[in-house]
């Protein structure tokens, strides 16, 4: 969500038979190679939400890979939504992507659903390959009312006559992200819009992706996986988050990998990872500081 000294490449790979789009940000020239970070977005978002983080990390010597989940952004929509829109399949896609990119080990930063995919992958198909895990306002137990709130708008995406109206809608529903500049709001909108046949505009994603909640109702209940994770974990919790409750975050300190939990003031669900305080928390954690 900002200008960069490096130019990312927009790429596509076929993973588990589905075309997946991702932005591939190289480490900035002249920096020490610190390896790769996979940065995975939230439920109804795209990999472009990770632009600001990618700019920050690439300047420090990281390659940053920012996928669009199947059914979002420029990735293919699933022809089998009931089977494929779930964390287990998303984790398989992540493994295929990492395999094809030749990534033996890497870090994972995930916002909301992206963090849940990271938990499942770290205990499953990518066990031993994820070195450090950042969970951005997500944990192994989520508040049911917040899930229902997200389902209500994500499952019935609004449509608008103009992109400007869509931006105002996004500014309303994503207000809990905290501060975004006008340019960042515009990028968020332009990177997550599609035009309907009659000419109106609507959010980019396949509305069927919310079948995850009906076909896989316990998909976000992940204490068993969390308790088996044995790598360093950083949990960022928006101070006003209605999805990751404070008592759940406290339990995350004491169980499994004993996450380092940091509360982010001025945010709900979920911090946008676009301001210096948040970016430094992530980069210092990845560096082992």
Instruction: Give tens-digit pLDDT for 230-285.
Output: 999 999 999 999 999 999 999 999 999 999 999 999 999 999 999 999 999 999 99
Q: What is the pTM of this model?
A: 0.96
Interatomic CA distance for residues 227 and 239, integer angstroms: 24
pLDDT value of position 91: 98
In Å, how far from its chain's centre is CA 229? 19
Work out the average pLDDT over 188-196: 97
H-type alpha helices, 159-210: 163-173, 182-190
- Let me know if 155 is exposed, middle or buried by CB neighbors in 10 A (0-12, 13-18, 19+): middle
Spell out the domain ranges in the chain: 9-286
CATH 3.40.50.1820 for domain 9-286, yes or no, is yes
The larger pLDDT score, comparing residue 52 to residue 153, is at 52
Checking if the pLDDT of 1 tops 50, the result is no
Reply yes or no: is the peptide bond before residue 209 cis, omega within 30 of 0. Answer: no
Signed CA dihedral, 127, 139, 284, 26: sign only: positive
Residue 236 pairs in a beta bridge with 136, 262
pLDDT computed for residue 152 by the predictor: 83
Contact 259, 124 (CB under 8 A): no
pLDDT tens column, 143-157:
999 998 888 888 889
Token output for 251: 């339990």
- Per-residue pLDDT band for 3 (boundaries 50, 70, 90) equals very low
- How high is the pLDDT of residue 151? 84
- CA 23 – CA 48 distance, rounded (Å): 8
DSSP 5-30: SS--EEEEEEETTEEEEEEEEPPPTT
Q: Which residue has the tokens 């896989």?
A: 216
Rounded Cα distance, 81 and 49, in Å:
23
Predicted confidence (pLDDT) per residue in 113-169, tens digit: 999 999 999 999 999 999 999 999 999 999 999 998 888 888 889 999 999 999 999
Mean pLDDT for the chain overall: 96
Give tens-digit pLDDT for 211-230: 999 999 999 999 999 999 99
Stated as kind and residue range, the H or E segment containing 253 is: helix 246-254
Residues facing 195 on adjacent strands: 201
């Amino acid at each position: 969500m900002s200008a960069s000294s490096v130019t990312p490449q927009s790429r596509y790979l076929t993973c588990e038979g589905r075309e997946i789009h991702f932005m591939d940000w190289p480490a900035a020239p002249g920096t020490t190679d610190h390896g790769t970070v996979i940065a995975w977005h939230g439920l109804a978002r795209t990999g472009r939400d990770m632009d600001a983080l990618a700019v920050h990390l690439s300047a420090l010597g990281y390659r940053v890979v920012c996928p669009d989940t199947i059914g979002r952004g420029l990735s293919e929509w699933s022809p089998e939504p009931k089977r494929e829109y779930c964390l287990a399949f998303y984790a398989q896609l992540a493994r295929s992507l990492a395999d094809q990119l030749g990534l033996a080990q890497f870090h994972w930063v995930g916002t909301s659903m992206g963090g849940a995919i990271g938990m499942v992958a770290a205990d499953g198909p990518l066990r031993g390959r994820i070195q450090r895990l950042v969970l951005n306002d997500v944990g192994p137990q989520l508040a049911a009312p917040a899930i229902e709130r997200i389902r209500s708008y994500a499952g019935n995406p609004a449509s608008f006559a103009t992109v400007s109206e869509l931006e105002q809608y996004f500014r309303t529903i994503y207000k809990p992200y905290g501060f975004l500049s006008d340019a960042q709001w515009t990028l968020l909108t332009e990177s997550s819009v599609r035009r309907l046949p009659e000419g109106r505009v609507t959010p980019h994603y396949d509305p069927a992706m919310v079948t995850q909640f009906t076909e896989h109702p316990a998909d976000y209940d992940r204490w068993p996986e969390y308790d088996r994770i044995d790598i360093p974990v950083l949990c960022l919790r928006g101070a006003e988050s209605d999805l990751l409750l404070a008592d759940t975050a406290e339990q995350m300190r004491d169980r499994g990998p004993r996450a380092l939990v940091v509360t982010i003031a001025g945010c709900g669900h979920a911090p946008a990872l676009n301001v210096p305080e948040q970016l430094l928390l992530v980069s210092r954690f990845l560096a082992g500081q």
